[in-house]
Structure 1
């Protein structure tokens, strides 16, 4: 595979650095990549997962419903132009699409898909201080939504995570983050 076009990294950094990126920006990507580094020995294809993590929020507009698709298509175009194998391109595309967190329960995850989801949701199990910062960052991204509407919608999202039998897909992340994530979510809901 040839290296990606020289303008890919600056474009990706610029996309994640937009002024409207309060949570879905470089800090989130850095945190995801730190988790990947910790989990590398457990992941089947760490390089592909790293690419998927870097691209998974490349397109992010809180008003849009197709962010994952547009991000996956961007990654697909970059990887195809770099000469990646069709299988590798499809795997990265599928990993990014797996981050549509509200898919039907029976949806089949791609290889490393459970790691992709768990790393993306690792923020839910962060320290209380980091979780509070995350909550404020998400609220800033949705500042255009009337406060009462935002509160109702956010409560519904947080409850949906709590209603899952497990927030995390992998036994490793369940052991490391599940209890803290549930505590954070319950505290957040109780504060409203």
Structure 2
């Protein structure tokens, strides 16, 4: 089983989910964080303190999928589609903070992530409107549904970025499923199988996994194939 690799940067250790990661990946992520915080007008202390928090949180030992690799993947999609995004800073903030709290045994990770984001928002002197907007974007990851698909493209793109993993090649998807299983190691095989099938079936029953036509065209068919194959694999273990 592939192990998370521990590296060190800016004075502390962090974990990526893949041996293919390089130090340049973390430096690139910090570059985007640096640009974002400068555009928000934060101090260097706020920038560095919160960067340390972000890296420490996403490097927690019980994370195998929801790691810095996940953030890196969303940032790559952000860079790919940024010309379609109206409020770049908001989407970046949602990416960095949406999984900052992740406890596989808890059911309120998104709401707790919002509370952590609000602490950053206070330190960064963000407006109440921005605070509310990012909070709503993070909360939307609970159901991964956007009520205003026609008018809220930023939210739709952010949610689609978060689910893009479902539409990856078979080998990438297999690694994703293995990492998710490792995060839920506290469940026995039967309990995990039943719970996972329920989640996957719910996804299949949705009219579309992706809210935007662009990502639907790119990922929908492969995502549904991957999900069906995972369900079949899980059922064969029964």
TM-score (norm 1): 0.93
User: Looking at CA atoms only, which structure, 1 or 2, has the larger radius of gyration?
Assistant: 2
Give the stretch that moved more between structures: 6-15 or 134-143.
6-15
* Cα RMSD (Å): 1.7
| Partner Cα separation in structure 2 for residue 106 and residue 33 of structure 1 | 20
2:184 alignment partner, one of 111, 119, 142: 142
Structure number having the greater strand percentage: 2
The answer to whether the 8 A contact 1:76-1:92 is kept is: no
The answer to whether the 8 A contact 2:146-2:155 is kept is: no
Partner SS, residue 140 of structure 1: helix
1:94 matched residue in structure 2: 136
Unaligned runs of 5+ in 1: none
Give the stretch that moved more between structures: 72-81 or 180-189.
72-81
| Partner Cα separation in structure 2 for residue 65 and residue 189 of structure 1 | 23
1:63 aligns with 2:102: no
User: Runs ≥4 in structure 1, deviation > 4 angstroms?
Assistant: 105-110
| Partner Cα separation in structure 2 for residue 73 and residue 133 of structure 1 | 31
Q: Number of aligned pairs?
A: 190
1:45 aligns with 2:96: no
Q: Deviations over 1:27-72 (max 9, x none)?
A: 1111011111111011121221011111100000011111101111
TM-score (norm 2): 0.76
1:187 aligns with 2:229: yes
Q: Please list, as runs of the form range in 1=range in 2, the aligned pairs for 1:26-37 lying within 5 A after superposition.
A: 26-37=68-79
Partner SS, residue 130 of structure 2: helix
| Partner Cα separation in structure 2 for residue 171 and residue 75 of structure 1 | 30
| Partner Cα separation in structure 1 for residue 168 and residue 122 of structure 2 | 35
The answer to whether the 8 A contact 1:76-1:90 is kept is: no
